Amino acid sequence: MINLFISAIVFGTVILYGALGEILTEKSGNLNLGVPGVMYLGGIAGLASAFAYEISTPNPIPAVCLLISFVCAFLAAALGGLIYSFLTITLRANQNVTGLTLTIFGGGVANFFGGALNTLAGGVGQISVATTSAAYRASLPLGSKLGWFGQIFLNHGFMVYLAIVLAILMHFFFNKTRMGLNLRAVGENPATADAAGINVTRYKYLATCIGAGISGLGGLYYTMDYIKGTWASEGTIEALGWLAVALVIFAVWRSLNAIWGSYLFGFLTWLYLYVPQIRAWLIGALHLDQDALQILNLTRSSQELFKMLPYLATILVLILVSMRKKRENQPPASLGLPYFREER
């Protein structure tokens, strides 16, 4: 059971980054459906840069590995955000169309290089960056000593905690700083923000690019920690990216909610693996006979239905929010709409 919580946190961290970046982006009124794309870009850039460094030197220094891959992942993803920003803000293209294209493009670039990098560099077989991955997965020395608590909460690489810190910082940013306040105004009502002397274009660009960079860290964490410094091109990042978009809704655009929401999504995603244990435990605890609770006796196919839970939960939240119409819980009012001052 402890493993369930550990994997929930690991899984949750990937989508937490994606969602945090997207919250920042959406708060500026941009609905970037390119989250999977920028996560791909972040993942591959981190991997590729670490790879380039590791093959260039016989004794790679972990700290340098970390720094190079981290910066490259952020920048590459931010570059994806820049393409999106340029098209939607400056060229006023439709946000949904541009975002989806970014997802196709990012996925293409990442999987292309992920699969071909080694070939291009003259090597054979799978790409692997052992040193860098180890640096990312290095955990607190306490982690393994403090029993189940340590295993669940303290036994992770630094990026798990960075994500939480980021979420808290973001909450502080939105609610306690001038820039955060201005950014919210841009996303709610750009005409008003403009009239108040806020540079709407600059806010939108910055929020979208930095947001994309943060989302890209999700891809980085995935490649470095989750799959231990290799590349897998079966489209997992894309699925995770969409789950991150879902999480933004589930968290009703609040970064603090995204923390527990991401772990909950991770929990729901992996729950199926532990359902037999839960069933056994329930049967034991409730003194039922061995054939009871067949519904929890999952086959390989019904496990797949279990994986639907995060999406169903999101749909439910989406519906409830739209039914309750509480003003604070609505998406930013100008989400998805372009802004053009001299429109008349």
Partner 1 sequence: MSSPNVHHEPLIRIAKRDGLAVWKNWLIRLVFVLIALLLSGLFIYAVTKLNPLKVYAAMFEGALGTKRRVWITIRDTMMLLCIGVGLAPAFKMKFWNVGAEGQILVGGVATAGLMIYLGKSAAMSTPVMLLVMALASIVAGAVWGVIPAVFKARWGTNETLFTLMMNYVAIQITSYCVALWENPFGSNTVGQINPQTKAGWFPRVFGLDFGLNVIIVMALTIGMFLYLKYSKHGYEIAVLGESERTARYAGIKPSRVFIRTMAISGAICGLAGFIAVAGASHTISTSTAGGRGFTAIIVAWLAKFNTFVMLLISFLLVFLQKGAIEIASQFKLNDFASNVITGIILFCIIASEFFINYRVIFHKRKEAGSK
Partner 2 sequence: MRGVTKTFGAVVANNKVDLDIRRGEILSLLGENGSGKTTLMNMLSGIYFPDAGEILVNGKPVTIRSPKDAFDLGIGMIHQHFKLVDVLTATENILLGLHEKGTLNLKAAAEKITEICRKYGFVVDPNKKIYDMSVSEKQTVEIVKVLYRGANILILDEPTAVLTPQETRKLFDVMRNMKADGKAIVIITHKLHEVMEISDRVAVLRKGEYIGDVPTSETNPQKLTDMMVGRAVSLNIDRPDPVNRVKRLEIHNLSVRNVYGLRALDSVSFDVYGGEILGIAGISGCGQKELLEAIAGLQITESGSSIRFYPGETSESKELVGLSPLDIKKAGVGLSFVPEDRLGMGLVGAMDMTDNMMLRSYRNGRSAFADRKNPKKLAEQVIEQLEVVTPGVSTPVRRLSGGNVQKVLVGREIAASPKVLMTAYAVRGLDINTSYTIYNLLTEQKMQGVAVVYVGEDLDVLLELCDRILVLCSGKVNGIVDARTTTKEEVGLLMTNLRKEEIHE
Query: What is the distance between the alpha carbons of residues 306 and 121, in angstroms, rounded to a whole number?
Result: 41
Member of 97, 282, 333, 337 binding partner 2 (CB under 8 A): 333
| From the list partner 2, partner 1, none, partner contacted by residue 115 (C-beta under 5 to 8 A by kind) | partner 1
Q: Quick one: tokens of 337?
A: 């709409």
Burial of 29 (C-beta count, 10 Å sphere; 0-12/13-18/19+): buried
- Residue with smaller CB distance to partner 1, 6 or 87: 87
| From the list partner 2, partner 1, none, partner contacted by residue 182 (C-beta under 5 to 8 A by kind) | partner 2
| From the list partner 2, partner 1, none, partner contacted by residue 291 (C-beta under 5 to 8 A by kind) | none
**Closest separation in Å from C-beta 179 to partner 1:** 16
DSSP conformation class of 296: G
Q: State the residue for tokens 């909460």.
A: 153
* 252 lies in the site for partner 2, by CB under 8 A: no
Residues forming contacts to partner 1 in the complex (CB under 8 A) are: 31, 33, 83, 87, 91-94, 96-98, 100-112, 115-116, 119-120, 233, 235, 239, 242-243, 245-246, 249, 299-305, 307-308, 311-312, 314-315, 318-319, 322-323, 331, 336, 340, 342-343
Under 8 Å between Cβ of 14 and 40: no
**Closest separation in Å from C-beta 255 to partner 2:** 17
**Closest separation in Å from C-beta 265 to partner 2:** 26
String marking each residue 108-147 x if it binds partner 2 according to CB under 8 A: ----------------------------------------
Q: Which amino acid makes up residue 281?
A: W
What number of H helices and E strands is found in the chain? Answer: 14, 0
**Closest separation in Å from C-beta 253 to partner 2:** 11
Q: Quick one: tokens of 33?
A: 């459906």
Could you give the residue ranges of the DSSP H alpha helices within 86-189? 95-120, 130-137, 147-149, 158-176, 178-188
**Closest separation in Å from C-beta 151 to partner 1:** 30
**Closest separation in Å from C-beta 325 to partner 2:** 11
* 193 lies in the site for partner 2, by CB under 8 A: yes
State the maximum Cα–Cα separation within the chain, in Å, rounded to a whole number. Answer: 73
Under 8 Å between Cβ of 218 and 18: yes
Contacts (CB under 8 A) with partner 2, residues 147-176? 176
* 191 lies in the site for partner 2, by CB under 8 A: yes
Phi/psi at 318 (nearest 5 deg)?
-60, -45
Query: What is the distance between the alpha carbons of residues 53 and 252, in angstroms, rounded to a whole number?
Result: 40
Measured between its terminal Cα atoms, the distance across the chain in Å is 61
- Residue with smaller CB distance to partner 1, 93 or 275: 93
Q: State the residue for tokens 């850039």.
A: 45
Residues that bind partner 2 (CB under 8 A): 176-178, 180-182, 184-185, 188-189, 191-199, 327-328, 330, 333, 341-342, 344
